[in-house]
Structure 1
Amino acid sequence: MENLFLTSLTTPEVRELFRQELQNYFENQNLPVTSKSEPPITTKQLCEFLGVTEPTIIRWRKKGKIPFMQIGSALRYDKEAVIKAISEKKKGGTQK
């Protein structure tokens, strides 16, 4: 059974209410803040940036030392998140 709501609100008013509710919902979620300044980079770009080889990046990724995202079959990296992960690993003092 469908819910039917009768209202005196106009379509633009309903859209604005919906937008405000979505904004409130997402503001109250503790979602990680991502950098909007730089798009994710490829494995090759990350290698060049860090000055390491591709097998090193692959090894770090498989061991969970660096974060990555998979978009379809493509792997991408958030440069800031990788830098943070590497510096946290160095502070821990344990290397495998």
Structure 2
Amino acid sequence: MNKKHHNPVLYAYSADDLENLVNLVIQKVRKTELIGDLNFSPEEDRLTQNEACSLLGISTQTLIRWKKKNIVPYYQIGRSIFYSKKELLALAQNNKGLIKLPRD
């Protein structure tokens, strides 16, 4: 009778590696929670260009390019441009690769 012995494999991680891994997991969980909750007051729903970039984890140049290509919905009041958090999260929910993790 053959008995298979399982040899445990141990990995060594630095404290910084573990902290980065935990932060990555937390960020992914938060994004999942955000996408699941699409009920915002009108004040919370309106995002500036920088806030929209931060939410999506993209650069300003990318957001402007997407706006020009009509990839992301936006609103203009006078010279001010705003984005709907609800609409951006719904767009991201339908296009899973759209949201990226924030840059540190």
| Larger RCO, structures 1/2 (Cα 8 Å, 6+ apart) | 2
| 1:35-74 correspondence to structure 2 within 5 Å | 35-37=40-42, 38-74=44-80
TM-score, length-normalised on structure 2?
Answer: 0.48
Identity %: 31
Equivalent of 2:86, from 71, 77, 80? 80
Q: Structure 1 CA distance, aligned partners of 2:71 and 2:92?
A: 7
Q: Structure 1 CA distance, aligned partners of 2:92 and 2:71?
A: 7
Helix, strand or coil at the partner of 1:44:
helix
Mean alpha-carbon deviation: is it higher for 82-91 or for 53-62? 82-91
Structure 2: unaligned runs, 5 residues or longer: 1-38, 98-104
Q: Structure 1 CA distance, aligned partners of 2:49 and 2:85?
A: 11
Which one has the largest radius of gyration?
Answer: 1
Q: Structure 2 CA distance, aligned partners of 1:86 and 1:64?
A: 14
Helix, strand or coil at the partner of 2:76:
strand
Mean alpha-carbon deviation: is it higher for 59-68 or for 34-43? 34-43
Q: Count residues in correspondence.
A: 58
Q: Structure 2 CA distance, aligned partners of 1:69 and 1:44?
A: 14
Q: Give the aligned CA root-mean-square deviation in angstroms.
A: 2.2
Deviation at 1:85, TM superposition (A): 2.1
The aligned counterpart of 1:21 is none
Structure 1: unaligned runs, 5 residues or longer: 1-33, 92-96
Kindly indicate whether the alpha-carbon contact (under 8 Å) linking 2:48 and 2:83 is maintained by their aligned counterparts in 1.
yes
Kindly indicate whether the alpha-carbon contact (under 8 Å) linking 1:68 and 1:77 is maintained by their aligned counterparts in 2.
yes
